[in-house]
Chains A and B, each alone.
Chain A
């Protein structure tokens, strides 16, 4: 094999790598926004207790999840932030390893929403011995024309609709 041929093959290899990188189906930036109404069936009024906005932000291999809780009147109740890494590039079934957790709970005279208490318990329980909170997001349905997906989260098993932007 001549040097020219070797150089040519190397060039083709680089082109393939560059092309593969350029054509990667996964966007380096991805954001999911999910709006949730929270109810507590044990409360006698049984009306909406609070609402929670969940933002899932992915940039390359990093992942960050923001859970923000608001009262019916719009006052901030709490915010939880999970940071970590995105373990795969499959947007169909995202695997996340969240290893940092910060929470900010505002002091109010109202009890915390039941779902928030559950969330705090789940995050605490789900940490493995390395301090990693694994999360899997599996897409159930998509509506590209509306940039919306229905997704199921593991380990909570919760389903939810989210709007995405990339």
Chain B
């Protein structure tokens, strides 16, 4: 077992233990790099040696060595690179206070198996989550509804054919209850629309007021591609069943744009 900073390296198991009891079983590259560095404490070790280890030919690429050093520093919490120094143009140097290496397999503690260190978890997790968030956000933005989404169909719809052949939709959005008769009102409106020489509306939205004292009519249509609409609020405060806007209807009130 070798002490490296605040960590201990179990040479036979190729496992690093930190002071919190976390352990990391080193992958091949990390194990080879750390073994090489431990073989030459306080001396620069060139990258080729680190790549070759005990072999004649390089076992890893140079970038694998760089990545292994990064991983080791990360686990050793060697943020300021005082344990594993970078020697420019050469390689790396493990700074070790003189300490005899211990070979004590019997006394080597067994690392807790449940805890596993993920050296790149931080950055990879952040990157992965950020990527997921970005993709989801892009998807959501793509399908994002506009400021207003239409709502449900009318409670009652009547498609009325005009003498010209065009079809007008009468869309009732109030329940057919109360003393005002929707059927009678629909007939009056259809008759008024038929009487127009030119009827500019394609939809007629209708609603009897909750207090049964008014009829709201919204006329909507397109004229040369432009949307036209009119809101009519017809009151009858008598609260009687003979609510009848026929005079106004007969005067051609629906025909105007």
Q: Which residue of B lies closest to A49 (CB)?
A: B235
The answer to whether the Cβ of A74 comes within 8 Å of any Cβ in the partner chain is no
How many Å lie between the Cα of A5 and that of B121 in the bound state? 7
How many A-B pairs have beta carbons closer than 8 Å: the answer is 168
Q: Which of A121, A145, A149, A157 has the most CB of B within 10 A?
A: A157
Q: Is the CB of A143 within 8 A of B247?
A: no
Q: Is the CB of B148 within 8 A of A115?
A: no
Mask: chain B, 134-162; 1 = CB below 8 Å from A; 0 = not: 00010011001111111110100000000
Kindly identify, within residues 31 to 58 of chain B, every residue whose CB is under 8 Å from any CB belonging to chain A.
Answer: none
How many Å lie between the Cα of A121 and that of B235 in the bound state? 13
The answer to whether the Cβ of A61 comes within 8 Å of any Cβ in the partner chain is no
The answer to whether the Cβ of A131 comes within 8 Å of any Cβ in the partner chain is no
Query: Within 8 Å CB of A75, what residues of B?
Result: none
How many Å lie between the Cα of A138 and that of B227 in the bound state? 20
Query: Within 8 Å CB of B110, what residues of A?
Result: none
How many Å lie between the Cα of A41 and that of B209 in the bound state? 14
Query: Within 8 Å CB of B243, what residues of A?
Result: 41
How many Å lie between the Cα of A150 and that of B220 in the bound state? 9
Interface secondary structure of B, over-half rule: mixed
The answer to whether the Cβ of A100 comes within 8 Å of any Cβ in the partner chain is no
How many Å lie between the Cα of A46 and that of B218 in the bound state? 18
Among A16, A25, A115, contact of B233 (Cβ-Cβ < 8 Å): A115
Among B148, B209, B213, B214, contact of A149 (Cβ-Cβ < 8 Å): B148
CB of A132, distance to nearest CB on chain B (Å): 18
Query: Within 8 Å CB of B207, what residues of A?
Result: 152, 157-159
The answer to whether the Cβ of B3 comes within 8 Å of any Cβ in the partner chain is no
Q: Which residue of B lies closest to A117 (CB)?
A: B237
Among B125, B211, B229, B245, contact of A46 (Cβ-Cβ < 8 Å): B245
Q: Quick one: given A36-B232, A140-B173, are A41 and B151 in contact (CB under 8 Å)?
A: no
Q: Is the CB of A42 within 8 A of B210?
A: no
The answer to whether the Cβ of B7 comes within 8 Å of any Cβ in the partner chain is no
Residues of B within 8 A of A (CB): 121-123, 125-126, 129-130, 133, 137, 140-141, 144-152, 154, 171, 173-174, 203, 205-211, 213-214, 216-218, 220, 226-227, 229-238, 243-245, 247-248, 251, 253
Residues of A within 8 A of B (CB): 2, 4-5, 8-9, 11-12, 15-16, 19, 23, 25-27, 30, 34-42, 44, 46-47, 52, 91-93, 113-115, 117-118, 121-122, 138-146, 148-150, 152, 155-161, 164, 166
> What are 21 A-B interface contacts by the 8 Å CB criterion?
A25-B144, A35-B231, A37-B231, A38-B235, A39-B235, A40-B236, A41-B234, A42-B236, A42-B237, A46-B251, A114-B237, A139-B151, A142-B148, A142-B149, A157-B173, A158-B207, A158-B214, A159-B216, A159-B218, A160-B231, A164-B148
